[in-house]
Structure 1
Amino acid sequence: MHVPLFPLNSIVLPRGRIPLQLFEPRYIDMLTRCLKEDRGFVVVLLRDGLETSSAAAFYDIGTYVRIIDFQQLDNGLLGITVEGVSKVTVVKCWKAPDGLNMGDVEVLLDEADLPVPDALSELPVVLRALLKHPVVNDLEMTVDFDDARDVGWRLTELLPIDKQEKQRLVELQDPLERLERLHALLEALE
């Protein structure tokens, strides 16, 4: 797939949602093209630089997202909500003339559909508590609390952990390994 890349200091994973504010012309043009062509773009985590910088470096594993809502915000900016579709790897990237990051991406294999093990049963409880936060609740995400992928993906998005650690969790393809790592991180936070 040949798609726009959107470097952020945040992540989103499949079935997750994230609100974004667009104000740069390159991203408003990207939004227009995506809506017109009924396609998405890829959210990648910034490695170095700022979200507004044209020289930002980013990781090569991200998430292909679709726009599910957009509106004019009270501050005059354009707000959109995107939902993750699939994890992808960026195999080649370049800058378009307007400064937009573009890339050729390949969809990664789906992760195994596994239940949350009994030994990690407190993770869905933690996730339920995080989902009660008003900003998260407003995203109206559907979560399968028995699905190790869903629980791990949402916790990776929502927990206040270092962005390099978040990226390591994004890159894992084994949902149980991700849950075990999240469990260790939660114990370290306590």
Structure 2
Amino acid sequence: MSDLPTELPVFPLPGALLFPRWQLPLNIFEPRYLNMIDDVMQEERVIGMIQSMGGPKSRPHLAHTGCAGRITAWSETGDGRYLITLTGVARFDVKEELSVTTPYRQVVAEWSPYEDDLYEVAPSSMPDRQKLVRALREYTDANGMATDWLAVEEAPLETLINALCSGCPFSVIEKQALVEAQTLKDRAETLITLLEMDVSGSNGGTLQ
């Protein structure tokens, strides 16, 4: 934990979730975030993904908890955009937002509640895959969603949970509950609860 930066640039983006060891591709085009990527590429290459939670459109409120990721892939397009991939490192709480001159926002990060994020989940602490799959089947059946069940059965469990948390059409508040769930097992239980709650209210779609 001591290797992680105390001051962290953040990218507020509702609906885009990052988790430890999960990869998130991003298309960066806003000038302030292009500037942020330029700056962090010269240092630790770490930024914080965090959801915005209401407030003014020009400066929305930040959620209390986000997840930091390291830039592990980077390319520039012909029209000046950056295509990056973030690999999740650990979650953080926002202790305070800094008053800065940079066009992007920065916070003081509190890492200590999430020290376990740095370690692989022990097999004994893994959630129940079949319980999750049952809830997912009920959810997809109720909403007419096409699903690759072979991929669901074969995917590593942590990868499957993170993919569903990121890809299912939950609200910002519901997704924030997934980010804040303390352990992977807690995240899976929260996910199952959301799937069960949304069975009758989803609008349908396709799970990839």
TM-score, length-scaled by structure 1:
0.77
Q: Which piece of structure 1 moves more, 163-172 or 22-31?
A: 22-31
| Residue 4 (structure 1) aligned with residue 14 (structure 2) | no
Match of 1:153 in 2: 162
Match of 1:91 in 2: 95
Structure 2 SS opposite 1:48: coil
1:98/1:174 Cα in 2 relative to 1: closer, same or farther (>3 Å)? Answer: closer
| Residue 181 (structure 1) aligned with residue 181 (structure 2) | no
Structure 2 SS opposite 1:116: coil
> Does the 8 Å CA contact 1:44/1:59 hold for their aligned counterparts?
yes
Match of 2:85 among 78, 81, 92: 81
- Once residues 20 and 135 of structure 2 are traced to their aligned partners in structure 1, the CA distance between those partners, rounded to angstroms, is 17
Match of 2:143 in 1: none
Structure 2 SS opposite 1:6: strand
Match of 2:59 in 1: 55
Matched ranges for 1:10-29 at <5 A = 10-29=16-35
- Once residues 130 and 185 of structure 1 are traced to their aligned partners in structure 2, the CA distance between those partners, rounded to angstroms, is 20
State the AA in 2 paired with 1:57.
H
State the AA in 2 paired with 1:46.
S
Match of 1:162 among 145, 168, 171: 171
Q: Cα deviations across residues 112-149 of structure 1 (Å, max 9, x unaligned)?
A: 631232652517987x83996xxxxxxxxxx632x5xx
Match of 2:148 in 1: 129
Structure 2 SS opposite 1:153: helix
State the AA in 1 paired with 2:50.
V
State the AA in 2 paired with 1:164.
I
1:32/1:161 Cα in 2 relative to 1: closer, same or farther (>3 Å)? Answer: same
Q: Which runs of 5+ in 2 are unaligned?
A: 1-5, 138-146, 200-208
Match of 2:37 in 1: 31
Match of 2:50 among 28, 44, 48: 44
What RMSD, in angstroms, separates the aligned Cα atoms of the two structures? Answer: 2.9
1:123/1:70 Cα in 2 relative to 1: closer, same or farther (>3 Å)? Answer: farther
Q: Which piece of structure 1 moves more, 172-181 or 5-14?
A: 172-181
The total of aligned residue pairs comes to 174
Identical counterparts, % of pairs: 26
Match of 1:103 among 107, 112, 117: 107
Q: Cα deviations across residues 4-48 of structure 1 (Å, max 9, x unaligned)?
A: 111011111111122222223322222112111133011110102
- Once residues 131 and 124 of structure 1 are traced to their aligned partners in structure 2, the CA distance between those partners, rounded to angstroms, is 16
Structure 2 SS opposite 1:87: strand
TM-score, length-scaled by structure 2:
0.71
Structure 2 SS opposite 1:81: strand
- Once residues 131 and 28 of structure 1 are traced to their aligned partners in structure 2, the CA distance between those partners, rounded to angstroms, is 39
Q: Which piece of structure 1 moves more, 117-126 or 77-86?
A: 117-126
- Once residues 21 and 150 of structure 2 are traced to their aligned partners in structure 1, the CA distance between those partners, rounded to angstroms, is 14
Q: Which runs of 5+ in 1 are unaligned?
A: 133-142
State the AA in 1 paired with 2:186.
E
| Residue 116 (structure 1) aligned with residue 127 (structure 2) | yes
> Does the 8 Å CA contact 1:54/1:99 hold for their aligned counterparts?
no
